[in-house]
Structure 1
């Protein structure tokens, strides 16, 4: 009886990670294809910054949708990483225990403030703010 239980547990631990990765990629690719399809076409050309929902309460443009698509992709990636490679929290320079997910949250929150400060002090475009955010993200994941 114990041997059958061990075999069942071993079979349950064998996960087809390739299928999981392929499924996640297929879902994200399908979502991106839908976003491109939903982008308005004016005179035969896509208007990438035109509202996707005319008269909507929020400016749902393609760049805004891609922003949320990236965050969804990060959440999917970090969920898969947490399941496949569990980690123990570590203590960084903030002297608090953080996991990958905590560091992602700190990165996203800090990046939002960096971009808001850039818009206040410098104004658009925010490409240099994005570069600063990437350096900030690398620092958070390395030392926090």
Structure 2
């Protein structure tokens, strides 16, 4: 087998696992009045507030890590120096973006309130800036 074929098999296997986990998350989601409830606990009287939104958040983080791993395997990179004057890789920039997004959401929650969709847009713009210039 060629390396290209092995890589395609690896990508397909990762996508299959991620799809299976996503299917399980939505299968396990609580349903109220015929609709999926995003805020109802998935585990009654559980030790953690596992809601559908929480599970999807962690699934997205895992999917990002898998995607960046596959990108790193498929086309290795050379660290680059940005405006911070430190060498960063894609993974470093992803970490900086996620850390900044957490702080942006906390500041937004404290100053504006719980209307978070606009904070998501700010976080995406921040991530684009980090990946472009850091």
Does the alignment reach a TM-score above 0.5? yes
- 2:63 matched to which residue of 1? 73
Q: How many equivalent pairs are there?
A: 134
- 1:6 matched to which residue of 2? none
Question: What SS does structure 2 have at the residue aligned with 1:16?
Answer: helix
Task: Spell out the pairing of 1:1-144 with structure 2 (5 A cutoff).
Answer: 13-144=3-134
TM-score where L is the length of structure 1: 0.87
Question: What SS does structure 2 have at the residue aligned with 1:79?
Answer: helix
Residues in 2 aligned to 1:13 and 1:26: alpha-carbon distance in whole angstroms:
20
Residues in 1 aligned to 2:3 and 2:9: alpha-carbon distance in whole angstroms:
15
TM-score where L is the length of structure 2: 0.93
Which aligned segments of 4 or more residues in structure 1 are displaced greater than 2 angstroms?
11-18, 41-48
Question: What SS does structure 1 have at the residue aligned with 2:46?
Answer: coil
Query: Cα offset for 1:14?
Result: 4.5
Deviations 1:10-69 (A, max 9, x none): x66454332222211111111111001111233544322110011112211001100000
**1 or 2 for the larger relative contact order (CA 8 Å, sep ≥6)?**
2
Pick which of 38-47 and 90-99 moved more.
38-47
Which structure: larger Rg? Answer: 1
